[in-house]
Amino acid sequence: MTINNKDATLFIYSELSFEYIWLRNIILIKSYYCLTENDFRQLSYSQQEILRNEWTQIHFQCQKEWKALYENMDEVPKGKCELCGTSYKKPYKIKNEKNGKILIVGSTCIQHFTGIINNSKDDRKNAEAKLNELKNRQFIVENINGFEDNTKRIKTIEEDKSIFLNETLLNEKNEITQLLYQEFSSKLKKDKKFLNIENLKKINKRMISFFDNVQKQVKYCNDGGIFKINSLISKSLHTINDDKILKALRKNNGITTNTISYIEEPTFISKMIDKLRECPELSHVEIIFETIEFKELGIIFKEKNRVEYRVKTKDMLDIFKEYLFNGDSNLMKNKEGEFLNKSVISKNSLTLALSIIFDNYGNHDLEELICDEKSNLLIYFDRKKNRIFKLNLKEFVQYYKIDVYENRHGKNIINQIEDNENKLTYSELRNILKQKGYSDETINDIFTMIKQEMKDKK
């Protein structure tokens, strides 16, 4: 068995050769890399078996380490292929992606690094396409300065979430992308005669102009304007799946009253809330942030009863959008009713709200047994009708949220209770109390109280 100079050279310069150091050493002894029959006979039996069974795969793996480069080779002097030693007319570069070594090869050897594996018809066709691509890219590099980098930059801008292109720039980018496909990508693997170098030069100029305009847009959006789509807001917009909203943002090149409620970027929301806090018409309102994402806000009316209302940030911005854009505090009038309709009483204020609902109600037949915010449970004992009932605490309180805001007791409470109640047996009540961690002594006290209330009623 023998290994010719070209294959031996490729092996020596490949990183894989260090895994077969015994073969590498015997080849390196020679000034002309190869493995002769005599060299082969000097190897051990196991080494000979390795070469007989594995050399084809070893050579293939070495070849896979190398990649053809497309670079301007006009300044490379005439010489010989560093693999086969044959003089070349047109030089090409190959680079080992594992160790960084570079070899200059001719037009025949370069084909081994453009996809030829088993020399089949399809294999040769694929290899020819790859070789065409290599030659065409090299031709373009030599004739159009910066074209290759500009095509990569177009893709980078598409993937850059910190840049939000306005309608004009987006249309320009889409047109350039389409032209690149028509004049570049679709022809890259064909013969060079299909390339129209003048058209590619025009596309390159258009790309350069586009990049300049993108930079102007980025500078415009990041100059501090509160309703401009800066890099932070741009990143947050990539989570929006509403094409209508995105189109409106691009068309107006900024945030408007129709799109403000869709902006979820925390810094922007914080600025909007600060602006609301400065409004004289909202001096009686305390605005609370509790979540990092700013998806929801807490509102407390200072002059009322300190009940906290929760409202979606999106709804808050939508309600007060006219003021946020115009700064006219007169636009804030009559907004509290709209706010209350979209809000809910905070979980932390359910007990307080419940006490307001029943305050001065005047019906002493209802005895509260359990009010548990954590499990959203409300249990009452009705002395008059001698029954125990269970209610959804949150739903019951939300029904009376306007009454809570007005600091008045709820109307038609009995009717509301009867419409939504779940009657409990004594056994069911005992089980609930046990689940809540009540001791047997406390449970017995509760039942004693109920029995005494019933006795007194009679």
Average pLDDT score, the chain: 83
Q: Which residues, in sequence order, are CB contacts of 248 under 8 Å at separation 6+?
A: 256, 258, 259
Measured between alpha carbons, how far is 179 from 332 in angstroms, rounded to an integer?
51
Residues 6 or more apart from 69 whose CB is under 8 A from it? 92, 93, 94, 95, 102
CA distance 214 to 86: 49
Q: Using alpha carbons, list the distances in angstroms from residue 121 to 125, 186, 213.
A: 6, 22, 48
pLDDT of residue 425 exceeding 90: no
Higher pLDDT, 333 or 153: 153
pLDDT (0 to 100) of residue 332: 67
pLDDT of residue 119: 42
In 160-296, where does DSSP find H-type helix? 167-183, 197-221, 231-237, 243-252, 266-277
Residue 157 vs residue 118, higher pLDDT: 157
Provide the pLDDT confidence category of residue 118 given band limits of 50, 70 and 90. Answer: very low
Considering only CA atoms, which of 426, 414, 427, 433 is closest in space to residue 451?
426
pTM over 0.75: no
Residues in CB range of 60: below 8 A, 6 or more apart: 117
Which residues, at least 6 apart from 79, have a Cβ–Cβ distance to it below 8 Å?
87, 88, 91, 104
Q: What is the DSSP letter of 94?
A: E
DSSP assignment string, 28-56: HTSSS--B-HHHHHHS-HHHHHHHHHHHH
Please identify which residue in the block is written with the tokens 């896979």. 64
Q: Which residue has the higher pLDDT, 157 or 304?
A: 157
Each residue's pLDDT tens digit, 1-12: 899 999 999 999
pLDDT in tens, 186-201: 998 888 889 999 999 9
Cross-strand pairs, 93:
69, 104
299: left (phi over 0), alpha (psi -120 to 50) or beta: beta
For 198-257, how does the pLDDT look when each residue is reduced to its tens digit (9 = 90+)? 999 999 999 999 999 999 999 999 887 899 999 999 998 888 888 999 999 999 999 999
